[in-house]
Structure 1
Amino acid sequence: MSAATENLADYATEVKGEVDRVLADVVFRRAPIQSRLLQFLLKKALEGGAPPSQYEIAVDGLGKSSDYDIETDSYPRVQISRLRRNLDNYYARNQPAHGLRLTVDPGVYRLGLAKADHDAPDRGDRSASAAPERDRVDALRELSLPTGANRVLVYLAALAFVAALAFGTWKIATTGPDTRVTRPTTALLIDTGFDSVPTTAAQRGLDISKQIAEIQLSNSFVSKPLAIGREPTEADYVLKLNFGMGLMESGSLFLVFTEREGDVLYSNEIVFDPDNPEDFASELEASLVYLTSPIGAIAETELAEVSDPMNSPYTCFLTIESGRSSGAETSQMVDACLEAFPQSDYRSFWYARRAFSAYQERVVAGEPISKSGEAWADVRRAFDADRFNAFANFIAAKVELAEGNCEQALDYVNRALERGSSYPVLVAGMEANAASCRGDEEADAAMANRIRTLARYNPNPDPLLHLYLVIALLGSGDRATAEQIARRSMIANPEGPIEESSDLLRRALEDRRIARSNAERISDMVFLFVWNRRTTDQIMQTLTG
């Protein structure tokens, strides 16, 4: 067998094995469109020849009709973009089997393999003894890297993006026009599957499911329920709850979330035990949070279509939430959105987010957290716009808790959790802060269980959610679960306080020596996010004890 043939055989074995490993991941098991797309790209890569076109991806790969028009619909580009992000998320948590990760490079819709960034060697320093491995990797890369011209275009586009950020223009260049300026609608369909009058247990399961689904859809910041009297076919998304055989004495709820065209974005099966309905309710709520949160499935799908963040208050909101770990850039975006849309329904949210940044600056400067100054003035502005806004109540609760006012904080806490049920970061952050006021074992256990369930249904938490999940569990004394969740986020080159804090906590949980030798630094880091010395001490005791 020739060297070239061996390389091709190696490529087929490597890429198929890596695809199988990726498809086994929980994120891809719950994303049927993404799994189907990855399998199609694998098939095309193994066939060789030219990479698939957008039309082929849409029609042959994703099942669109033969009259599909790529000029007016960016669906395949959206799915490819989402696949790249999901692959990046996967490799942030998992090492590739043989140092080669899957890639779908910009401008080339062909699946390939490339050295993982964190152990890519310097090509100029390779010795002659490394030549066989170099030749093999280069042969694999030829099927995935863009041409030199395309590399230049990608480089120039990156420079343009950085320049836009530097000058505060915040123009995000994507293909296709904006298709959304207001919140999309979601229809709720419930199929009981009951052949006769349901049993008491089945009716209870149905009532719980309907109540939770309606609350989550109503509380979502990124979508709104379809108006009464409208047909489900008019909705942008459809949430289907199917009770299978009718939940006689026990059974399962089948949850399917689709786009208007019927493409499945998410599916899940939740077991219903009539003797333990609390677990069923908790799992259903967490699953719906994954769909309806500001960084969830709906937000991700909508954001992929945005070419100008300043197009509307809604696109402003999506962009701010997707970049919330970006520090100064996010603050600039908040100011720009408030200036452009001063009467927006999202202004309460933006004032509260600006207050949060101002209070963090106080922490860094060593100043006390109190109900004073421009930060608290922004909280008041947020309440003037909407006194029930979840994030405004979250900030107010944090300030009261920082001052040790547990009783005064309680109303804010409850309001934040009630209206922010579709926002996992807010829920985790609120639970972490409120830990200092708890002494009830049952309440602590319920909080820890809620955080564990949230973590289970957010398998790819962004750095901020990851950080709050870990902090909340440590605050409740659950170090074991905190360790498990901490391992889900492997940040190769952490940048900024959120990523650096998330990464240091993970390493401290893996090795108590790291926790103890960095105790002062970790304590300061935790305090930056909880603003409460009592909670910080509880977290550090669990971490280092």
Structure 2
Amino acid sequence: MGDSADGNERPDDEAARQIRGGLGRVLASETFRAAPQLSAFLSFIVERTLEGRRSELKGYTIAVEALGRPAEFDPQSDPIVRVEAGRLRRALTQYYIDEGRDDPLRISIPVGGYVPAFDLPVPGMSAAARRPGKVEAEAGSATRRSRAWLLALLAALLCLVLGFAVLRLEPALFGGEQERVTDRAVAHGPDLPTVAVIVGPAPADPALADLVQRSVNVFVDVMARFDDLAIVKVPPPGAPIPDDADYVLELNMLASEGSAQTFGRLRTMKDGRIIWTASSERPMREVLEDQDLMDRIRRIAARLVEPFGIIQADGRQNTVTPAADCIYQALDYQRFMTAERHQEARECLERIIARDPGFYPARAHMASLLLRDHASGRDGTGEALSRGLASALAAQRLAPSSGRAQQIVAEALFLRGERSDAEAAGKAALSRNPYDPQIMAILGAIYVRMNRPSEGLPLLERALEYCPGRPPWYDFYAYLAAYLNGAVKQSHTHFAVLATDPSPLGLLAQALHAARNDDAEARGEALHKLAQEVPLFGRDPQSFLMRKGFSEAVTKRLLVDLGLVDGEKPAVKAEPAPSTGLR
């Protein structure tokens, strides 16, 4: 629908009829029946728009008239409307992925306001085939807009035909013969490596036997939280190793003449290769009184299964399952950031999703690739961010207790500009798996880009400690946090890892480091390489940084420090924020 002069004109009767029908279907869905506050919010803003009163859709009006807040409600101190709007956007996205995938009309709420937009059905075109778009519910003369509207639809249809191969990427979002993700349970099956934990005979000493049991419980608890990377099984004592085991983790503790001897070994079932081993011998009393023992066990367990850990390192060299191989390819892309690795990983994950739409790890890692497409400016369709969010929400729907799914949702929300919701999702991810360095680093990077480096740096340094085989972007955000804090010595320590790194963020760090040292030649060389590697940076450095989610203050600081814009080099003060409680 065309723009109107005052933005308050009513849509025509036919459009209003279709919109109310679409609203009714949304409100009747399982998702919205269980969320009366979201239903009230959506009904209110849609009806006000159809009445030609969209200018009234402000935070105060929605809070008081739709959400039941008192007349003295203060939108400046109470963020309820903004929070609920974020929830409503995600609920609508989820509805059109699942129950409403064939709905002929789509309702959305563009970020930055509360006025809904409507994608009206095209005669003769199914919901599964058409390309989602946004048509604001603003009325005008039907005669005046009909020709432009028809041409726009024809152009969209032509783009749809030409881009069909791209749109088949997300079957649950764009239709086809795939199953709806809500119709399937979370599928692991043979798709992920299985680790069998075998525990030796219990020591005769009761205190030591109790310690062994607690240690095993911690091992299993930590490893099981990485549910996108491995399946953990603990057969009963004396039972045979499960037939589907790919790896065997053997743990044993013995008492001998006042000492406790501990042994740990991880081997492959296929050929018996030992890929990790550890042992120690300490006085019994010292072991029993060691207050840090469980923390060290958690670190060892995480090191075995984390995204860049020991099992994944072995799996990259020796394919365990096709699905795991695809996930490792997606993780490897984070290390090397090459177009070839990106294409290989994406095609591989597409095949896995087509084969099993209910396999949540593939959806989560596909979302990660799509979000990186958007952040890097590589997205040629302009749809990577919305498709990444859709894939992330599908992963979360399939595995609501997964830290990885929640982490991917946090990344998507952050890149959409929903920073408070992203921070909350990041914290939730870390609470689900507080041992995952990827989640620590993602949340830490979110804080750094929000200009809260003092909160981000502890998380990033903890991630570095947990993950020796990490991708370079961990080090970049740790470097940037120290850089923004003015901690020169600390930033030099983190920069040492990035000094020769050819990735875009590595080149950005090299340019910043050279600028700080007044090395114009090195700065220019790094910026030239970065512009060649990422054309968006060469065309518009500010857009490059903003697409990655950097706040306006951080973006300005970096551009000034790099000499790309005029201005004084401000001593950017980190924005105050409440403690995360996650350090």
Given the two structures, how large is their TM-score scaled by the length of structure 2? Answer: 0.46
